[in-house]
């Protein structure tokens, strides 16, 4: 038990090493891809995830691609809808596999049971926070499964692709991922500039991991485009209260606000653009700003979706 715990601890301390897959002398195994997202219960917001999946399918037409949602609450909502024939009839745009979406663990197990032993899990998260940490733990634990005979191991290779803004490690410096993400959102800055508005993104953030990468991303956006761009978080740093003084310093009377999340779901619809007194839109209006909100998930931006395809290709290599 102590040895197993030590192995897992080392994988968590050195996540780049944890991403590399098994390699055996046996022949090539059947390949499959799992796209792991937090998920969303909003049918319209789902399109951001489906856009990424479409790009992955186009890039790997011969490889099965499966969706997986890490949120227990969201999966249960879809499963409940799957048992409601009227709901499915009213929402023909929702693919059937979404109604029966599973956790990454169950999705990987189903693929392995169907004979796929070379599986790459691609994170659809924005940065390496709590959700990605849990994916690393999951993949590392499954990869540690051994057998007396190598051919009896459940996986020949099991890899994990990094989030859009990268992860710690030397193999793929996260600052390079930030630079590519900055270029992917050039049209947002152009739109804000045309409206003479500061560009404000709402990120989800996290209370348990450093979210300083949001501040790094905002600084990189400002440096690249010489324009006021800010990122605030629902959880963690920088919060709305941190961003507000910087907005004042920008001298802009208008604010264009968009979610810095893969999907424009609950947080975007309510915490960002809602009409409750504590939504960011209302708080900004009370502070004297003219506010325009846009419910668009990052996954719907071609350049941003392409980041996941790139990271997936590198993980599969």
Provide mean pLDDT across the span 271-275.
Answer: 94
Q: CA 256 → CA 193, 259, 270, 292, distances in Å?
A: 10, 10, 16, 5
Give me the pLDDT at residue 211, please: 86
Compute the distance between CA of residue 100 and CA of residue 81 in angstroms, rounded to an integer: 9
Task: Give me 99's structure tokens.
Answer: 């109604």
**The pair of three-digit structure tokens given for residue 121, joined into one six-digit string:** 């899990």
Span(s) in the chain for CATH 3.40.50.1400: 2-171+303-316, 186-297
217 — pLDDT class (breaks 50, 70, 90): very high
Structure token digits, residue 125 = 């998260």
pLDDT value at residue 26: 63
Task: State if pTM tops 0.85.
Answer: yes
CA dist 292 and 275 (Å) reads 13
Kindly indicate the confidence band of residue 124, based on its pLDDT and cuts at 50, 70 and 90.
very high
DSSP assignment of 4-49, as one string? HHHHHHHHHHSHHHHH-----SSPPPEEEEEEEE---S-TTTHHHH
Task: Give, rounded to a whole angstrom, the gap between the first and last alpha carbons of the chain.
Answer: 32
Q: Which fold has domain 2-171+303-316?
A: Rossmann fold (3.40.50)
pLDDT category at 206 given cuts 50, 70, 90 is confident
Asked if 100 and 79 touch (Cβ cutoff 8 Å), the reply is yes
Say yes or no: domain 186-297 is CATH 3.40.50.1400: yes
pLDDT score of 15 more than 80: no
């Amino acid at each position: 038990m102590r040895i197993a715990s030590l192995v897992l601890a080392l994988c968590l301390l050195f996540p780049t090493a944890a991403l590399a897959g098994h390699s055996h002398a046996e022949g090539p195994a059947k390949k499959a891809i799992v796209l792991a997202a937090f998920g969303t219960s909003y049918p319209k917001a789902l399109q951001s995830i489906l856009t990424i999946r479409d790009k992955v399918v186009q890039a790997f037409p011969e490889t099965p691609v499966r969706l997986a949602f890490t949120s227990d609450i969201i999966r249960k909502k879809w499963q409940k809808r799957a048992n409601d024939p009227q709901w499915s009839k009213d929402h023909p745009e929702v693919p059937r596999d979404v109604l029966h979406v599973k956790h990454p663990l169950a999705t990987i197990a189903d693929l392995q049971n169907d004979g796929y032993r070379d599986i790459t899990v691609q994170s659809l998260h924005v940065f390496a926070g709590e959700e990605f940490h849990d994916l690393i733990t999951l993949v590392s634990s499954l990869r540690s499964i051994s057998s007396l005979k190598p051919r009896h191991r459940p996986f020949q290779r099991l890899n994990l692709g990094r989030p859009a803004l990268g992860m710690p490690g030397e193999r793929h410096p996260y600052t390079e991922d930030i630079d590519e993400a900055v270029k992917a959102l050039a049209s947002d800055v152009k739109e804000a500039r045309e409206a003479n508005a500061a560009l404000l993104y709402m990120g989800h953030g996290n209370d348990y991991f450093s979210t300083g990468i949001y501040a790094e991303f905002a600084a990189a956006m400002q440096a690249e485009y010489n324009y006021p761009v800010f990122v605030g978080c629902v959880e963690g740093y920088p919060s709305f209260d941190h961003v507000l003084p910087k907005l004042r310093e920008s001298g802009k009377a208008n604010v264009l606000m968009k979610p810095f999340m893969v999907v424009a779901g609950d947080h975007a619809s309510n915490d960002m653009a809602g009409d409750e007194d504590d939504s960011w839109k209302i708080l900004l209006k009370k502070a004297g700003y003219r506010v325009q909100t846009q419910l668009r998930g990052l996954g719907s931006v071609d350049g941003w979706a392409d980041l996941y395809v790139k990271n997936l290709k590198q993980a599969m290599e």
